[in-house]
Structure 1
Amino acid sequence: MVYQLRLRKKGIIILPKDVREKLGVSENDILIADIKDGELTLRPLKPKIVRVNPKVVEEILKEEGDAERRKEEEIFGSD
């Protein structure tokens, strides 16, 4: 379906309720605007949810911290 929208003061565009419902967006959601060949496309930003094992993250951070300490010891020497 094609919609005719009016550009308001300060560049505000009102999306009709049925458009918001079809896109699955609501107030304060973020839309991505793409301009190509003189056309504007809007689409909702839907971040991907990734499940991460907290123990794995903890181990990686520990390894990074250890590596950083070794690097500092190389540069500044150890006491």
Structure 2
Amino acid sequence: MVYLKLRKKGVVIIPKEIREKLGVSEDDILIADIKDGELILRPLKPKIVRVDPKLVDEILKEEGDAERRKEEEIFSSD
């Protein structure tokens, strides 16, 4: 167990050993939550998702086509 001191403006210094175990370093983002009266800190680790650019283009084209059809329906019914 480690005791941390709350400093001016709410600053808490996380010891190096804990930062290393969490895999965080300066400028990383931590998520803070309160659960049952306890402060929980965890690193924000975005997932990297690999997407086929051709698939994205195809989906965007389909969505664009669908939007154009909707606009045509709206404006042609006047």
State whether TM-score is above 0.5.
Answer: yes
Question: Where do 5+ consecutive residues of structure 2 fail to align?
Answer: none
> Aligned partners of 2:60 and 2:37: how far apart in 1?
46
> Aligned partners of 1:48 and 1:27: how far apart in 2?
20
Q: Secondary structure at the match of 1:42?
A: strand
Letter in 2 for 1:25: V
Q: Secondary structure at the match of 2:39?
A: strand
Question: Where do 5+ consecutive residues of structure 1 fail to align?
Answer: none
In structure 1, the residue matched to 2:7 is 8
Letter in 2 for 1:72: E
Letter in 2 for 1:16: P
What RMSD over aligned residues (CA atoms) do the two structures have, in Å? 0.9
How many residue pairs were aligned? 76
Instruction: Tell whether 2:49 aligns with 1:30.
Output: no
Structure 1 consecutive aligned stretches of length 4 or more whose deviation exceeds 2 Å: none
Deviations 1:17-47 (A, max 9, x none): 1111111001111111121111111110111
| TM-score computed with the length of structure 2 as normaliser | 0.91
Instruction: Tell whether 2:51 aligns with 1:44.
Output: no
| TM-score computed with the length of structure 1 as normaliser | 0.90
In structure 1, the residue matched to 2:72 is 73
- Give aligned-pair identity as a percent: 80
In structure 2, the residue matched to 1:53 is 52
